[in-house]
Amino acid sequence: MAKASPAPRPARKSQPSAAFGYTFPAIRGVQAGREYYVSMCPLRLIPKIFLFNEEELVPELRAQRILNKARVPEIARYLLDNRGDYTFSALTASIDGFAEFTPAVGQELGLLGSLHVAMDARFVINDGQHRRAAIETAIRENPELADESIAVVFFVDVGLARCQQMFADLNRHAIRPSTSLGVLYDQRDESGRTVKQWIINDPMFHPLTEMEKSTLAKRSRKLFTLSALYQASMSVMPALRVGAEEDSPERLGEFWALVAAQFPAWKQVASGDLSSSAVRQHQLHSHALVLHAMGRAGAGLISQHPRDWKKRLKGLQDIDWSRQNTALWEGRAMVGGKVSKAGTQVVLVTNAIKQALGVKLSADEARLEAALIGEKTHG
């Protein structure tokens, strides 16, 4: 015979209901045998009741991580710049103090009602302190936001240990979306839309591009990732004068078509005559690092040689892209035999491409190049 489930633990009632306090319209639910409550709070109320003053406490006495103040302006700007279509997920908070749920009249299941919280109760944010701070910042700039609302999930009387565990549990399985997926789904990024439109309409690049993941599995049939092509395209787009014009995807596509013409292996992969894994394993020209450098070098080429830059792209064929060419690539694209995406490596690969295309190096690029040559000479 199955055992009966234990009755849910209700909000704490260790003292009589206070004459003064907060009242939230709420929905009651149960998780792990504990009652919790979901309410809609006006944004104006968020900075007033959800205080964050734990910065001076040592980590073991805090229920949250230290507020990263550098993140707050970015989140606030997102809220202010997208007044018509911003999206904020619910805050999660614990109530340290007296709280009582009263079902609404006529509710048979008792799930809808009001949550009454004593005035001296303390609200501890378990998840969402940066959103709370951003809301406060945004309201100061645009008071109209104060009339809008955000969902809040309340847990009652859980104590420090439980608060810390809740924070760990809430963040344990949180996974940031890949850069590729972020670019794919972001409709506000004008440049991202241009890159996506080019790739989706390109008969060669689209089948070869992983649109969701930012890394390729060893046996993947793809040759590029959306994030890599996006980053590379962002470097060259200003030189191409790609903007909001309707032909921007076509102009971007023309550049990459000219680049692809210098690498027969890319077309062989597209036609199925060569495996993408073999290309990635033995050659460097399809790696994100090199694509980024191609975009940077392409921008310099177009700026310095606006009339004949298309012809000069043939210089890409003069570079030995084999990973076995350690004389060129070790210390430049690879460190200890492994491809490195560090900023210094991006610049050094850009230098190699620029030199092959007849493009002058900038002062910073020349300095890094001299340092690499000196290291190899005395190494």
pTM of the model: 0.70
Residue 7 has pLDDT above 70, yes or no: no
Average pLDDT in the chain:
86
Which tops the pLDDT comparison, 275 or 126? 275
For the ranges 108-122, 125-139, 344-358, the one whose mean pLDDT is highest? 344-358
The alpha helices in the chain, defined as continuous H runs, are 46-49, 71-81, 129-141, 159-172, 179-185, 190-201, 205-208, 226-240, 248-260, 264-271, 276-282, 288-304, 309-312, 326-329, 343-357, 363-378
Tokens representing residue 222 in the block: 């793809």
Tokens representing residue 97 in the block: 């103090």
Q: What is the pLDDT of residues 187-231, one digit of tens each?
A: 888 889 999 999 999 999 999 999 998 999 988 999 999 999 999
pLDDT at 239: 93
Residue 269 has pLDDT above 60, yes or no: yes
pLDDT at 174: 65
Residue 106 has pLDDT above 90, yes or no: no
Distance (Å, whole) CA 379 – CA 375: 5
Q: What is the 3-state secondary structure (H, E, C) of 195-249?
A: HHHHHHHCCCHHHHEECCCCCCCCCCCCCEEHHHHHHHHHHHHHHHCCCCCCCHH
Other CB atoms within 10 Å distance of the CB of residue 100: 19
Which tops the pLDDT comparison, 21 or 351? 351
CB 227 within 8 A of CB 214: yes
